[in-house]
Amino acid sequence: MNLNAMLEMLDENIVERLKTAVEIGKWPNGIALTTEQRQICMQAVMAWEHTHLSAEQRTGYIEKPKSATHGHTDDDLPIRFV
């Protein structure tokens, strides 16, 4: 099965269960995930979210604060060496 076929089979409920399994390290029935299963689940969640969710809704999204004085993100400001 290729990645696209797998992603077509996933829905929000399955993705949430995969996320929970990764977070707690266990399947819903209590069996521990192997390292390989955890990695595959994380990859599947990330791929599904990239396809179905906006960047702000994806797991791990960090909002960059805007500078109050210039309306720029911190990445836009010059670096000052002290």
- What is the spatial distance between Cα 47 and Cα 4, in angstroms, rounded to a whole number? 9
pLDDT tens column, 19-60? 999 999 999 999 999 999 999 999 999 988 988 888 888 888
Helix then strand count (H, E) for the chain reads: 3, 0
Largest separation between any pair of C-alpha atoms in the chain: 55
Which amino acid would we find at residue 74?
D
- What is the spatial distance between Cα 49 and Cα 57, in angstroms, rounded to a whole number? 8
CA angle (35, 54, 15) in 5-degree steps:
35
- pTM tops 0.75, yes or no: no
CB atoms under 10 Å from CB of 45, counted, come to 20
